[in-house]
Structure 1
Amino acid sequence: MKTKAGLTRFHNCHILREGQIIKEDLWIRDGKIEDPEKVFYVEQLQADVTVDCEGLLIAPGFIDIQINGGWGVDFSYDSENVDEGIKKVSKNLLAHGVTSFCPTMVTSDVEKYHKILPQIKQTDGGQHGATVLGVHLEGPFISLAKKGAHMEEYIKTPEKGLQTIKEVYGSLENVVIITIAPELPGATEAIKDLTDLGIKVALGHSTASLAQGEQAVECGANLITHLFNAMLPFHHRDPGLVGLLASSTKKQVFYGIISDGIHTHPAALRIASRTNPKGLVLVSDAVAAQGLADGNYRIGPQLVTVEGGHAYVTGTKVLCGSTAALDSCVATFKQSLDCSMEYALEAASLHPAIALGIDHRKGKLNFAYDADFVIIHPESLKIKSTWIAGECVYKCDN
């Protein structure tokens, strides 16, 4: 089951395609999904390898656009072993069905950005781990009032727009998403310029009004970072950033949401998904404590306590990210909403692909797309195997 070259046929399976689960074979060649009619009638070829999926479900690989680390690795802190840390996390993510991800750096000092960012390269996935799509920078251009677990002394204002951002981050070469509080001085100009550079702008850790959020969307922002968390609560006179889910702006706004059973109440999940179903993007927001047993740890400059599978700033009940991987979030999401299997899976694959603008090659099982997919149990959603570019990169032993 590790074949990559040649023509491979997956049969006795159901596949998720165009919002529907259908009983159909999946054909793979040279890392891409093939059109079987072309293979049969034009090329008149037979499969080199046939994989019996034993009635399991094939879905597009999961894409995590916000993950801060895991298995003891913190993407924001250790500037000496960046490559080693990225490899460790990307390898472990394969067991959770994640085929692509955005390593996320939270608010840090300028020196950390200048040292770490050039070392996180966009990298194709394979046996070594999931594809690195590029970095998500969450801070330091955020609201002090909504800093959450971010370090106050490093928070900054983009007063000179893109100039300030470049001074703080250094190289933007490997950056694909930047989270900004849109109400800050200089933020509007920064959002326009970042969008022109092809970088996606997310709104978050913010006290912005709905009007400020709508202005940011008009300037190019298309994402909200972990909806409901670190922003003003919904108010009927001014719903704040939450109101973007149902605002009059004609642009599709995507919103990351943490469905780990603690960050977002099931009722809030239902409200968001029913208000703006196409924009919902499941994210893990996992921290270095992901994969670690309960106990006290130092994660970057902070002491963190893992308790009952959740991570808190030590001595408080302030959440500092999730410890749940994306496959767990998908299962919790489906259970909380009692939604269709198709919708739960697309929220972790198709939706993030569209939000990043890579849905022409990832997030679907359409012909000519990258053969990144998971084979899962159709009821338990347990990951049975993970595939990248048509190669089996993880297989469950039981």
Structure 2
Amino acid sequence: MTTLRGNILTPSGWQHGSLAFGDTISSLSGIAADPAGNGDDYLLPGFIDLHVHGGGGRDVMEGGDALDTITRTHARHGTTSLLATTMTAPKREIEVALAGVQRAIAQRTPAGARVLGVHLEGPYINPGKLGAQPNFARDGLLAEIAGFGELAPLKVLTLAPEVQGHMELIGDLVARGIRVQLGHTLGSYEDGVQALEHGAISFTHLFNAMSALHHREPGMVGAALAHAEYAELIPDLLHVHPGAIKAALRAIPKLYCVTDSTAAAGMPDGNYKLGRHTVTKCMGGVRLPDGTLAGSTLTLDEALRNLVGLGLEVDDAARRLSTYQAEMLGLDDRGVLKPGARADIVVFDRNLRLKAVYVEGELVPA
């Protein structure tokens, strides 16, 4: 049994006290207190990243043991669970990636983040809005998606709702327990609203790779800002301008943050793989040869600091890195610090330097 003391972010707010845990939290005791009244550490729910392509030089699309390295890399930066995210690719390449995901789910890598399942980002996207996705976009077929789901659990699926047949597909996917996100889309505002009415729940890397907001044509961004409860956003301050982030924070109640990280995360400048692409890390970003942003090098500890730097309180920022993701996936034992929940815990000092990470009670080596 391990016991930590400090400012604990609970579902009801800050408590100053102690947290005891094995693989789950056994007890939490303390008094409601504003952290401003002391200098103790922050104890926050472990971060949950719903959009991870790679890290530590490895890419999800490699399959095999790539996720061993990826999950260890992100755990060292506070991510305690994640969704392995695929690229748009031929069917066989996606199947190889999914086999690797299932391997990682079957047994968590020691000192690595828990893999909760798959975010299938494509191939059911608009070929006119690929962003950094390879050009293998195609129409979605329920039989193919069901086959993918037999290889590894599909938790989130990104699609373009304006593509023929996709609007009707949303309800079938939701009935299978898959969270549908709208992204890589040229769809209109009306397409976005209709997709939400059909059961879509979120938007993939808000603002990026989707039809933009215009005051006479609000686009997919307008649908998100006007109607969404959830949306993911990359807060590396490269993908989205701080002003746009602030607008989204005011408009979308449970805006949550993802890294969209690539193999370049946690690595020096150089060339790395992103699916079939070769991408270059330099000046803090990752780009295709034509300059297109291609995922990120972001980690969620950095995301916390970026959000606080934009003016968010620590508790608000932390919920956007853990709690809202768990709620969107329907999980009640992650993303919160309470008795009975998984002992996924991150410890930060008052300067927001990461001091310790626990994944299901296991201390991750620094």
Normalised to the residue count of structure 1, the TM-score between the two structures is 0.84
Q: CA deviation at 1:220?
A: 1.5
Structure 1 residue aligned with 2:15: 22
**Aligned residue runs from structure 1 range 123-138, under 5 A:** 123=106, 125=108, 127-138=110-121
Change (3 A) 1:19 1:339: farther
Change (3 A) 1:105 1:63: same
Picking from 70, 73, 76, the partner of 1:95 is: 76
Q: CA deviation at 1:325?
A: 1.0
Q: CA deviation at 1:383?
A: 1.2
Matched, 1:367 2:339: yes
Of 266-275 and 107-116, deviating more is 107-116
**Aligned residue runs from structure 1 range 175-214, under 5 A:** 175-214=154-193
Q: CA deviation at 1:172?
A: 5.5
Picking from 243, 258, 265, the partner of 1:267 is: 243
Whether contact under 8 Å (2:122, 2:157) holds in the other structure is yes
Any idea what the Cα deviations from partners look like across 1:205-246, whole Å, max 9, x if unmatched? 001112211221122211100000000110122322222344
Which secondary structure state, in structure 1, belongs to the residue aligned with residue 250 of structure 2? helix
Identity over aligned residues, as a percent?
34
Give the root-mean-square deviation of aligned CA atoms.
2.1
**Aligned residue runs from structure 1 range 1-398, under 5 A:** 7-11=1-5, 13-18=6-11, 20-28=13-21, 30-35=22-27, 55-76=40-61, 78-79=62-63, 82=64, 84-121=65-102, 122-123=105-106, 125=108, 127-152=110-135, 154-158=136-140, 161-166=141-146, 169=148, 171=150, 173-247=152-226, 253-276=229-252, 278-314=253-289, 316-336=290-310, 338-358=311-331, 360-379=332-351, 381-394=352-365, 396=366
Structure 2 residue aligned with 1:47: none
Letter in 1 for 2:319: E
Of 384-393 and 266-275, deviating more is 384-393
Normalised to the residue count of structure 2, the TM-score between the two structures is 0.91
Q: CA deviation at 1:144?
A: 1.5
Alpha-carbon distance between aligned partners in 2 of 1:125 and 1:16, rounded to the nearest angstrom? 26
Q: CA deviation at 1:118?
A: 2.8
Whether contact under 8 Å (1:14, 1:55) holds in the other structure is yes
Q: Which protein shows a greater Rg? A: 1
Q: CA deviation at 1:117?
A: 1.2
Of 196-205 and 303-312, deviating more is 303-312
Whether contact under 8 Å (1:144, 1:155) holds in the other structure is yes
Alpha-carbon distance between aligned partners in 2 of 1:176 and 1:198, rounded to the nearest angstrom? 7
Whether contact under 8 Å (2:55, 2:74) holds in the other structure is no
Letter in 2 for 1:369: A
Letter in 1 for 2:25: I
Q: CA deviation at 1:99?
A: 0.3
Structure 1 residue aligned with 2:36: none
Any idea what the Cα deviations from partners look like across 1:317-365, whole Å, max 9, x if unmatched? 10001011111122112212x111111111001011111111x111110
Unaligned runs of 5+ in 2: 30-38
Alpha-carbon distance between aligned partners in 2 of 1:87 and 1:335, rounded to the nearest angstrom? 32
Letter in 2 for 1:132: V
Whether contact under 8 Å (1:126, 1:391) holds in the other structure is no
Alpha-carbon distance between aligned partners in 2 of 1:318 and 1:113, rounded to the nearest angstrom? 23
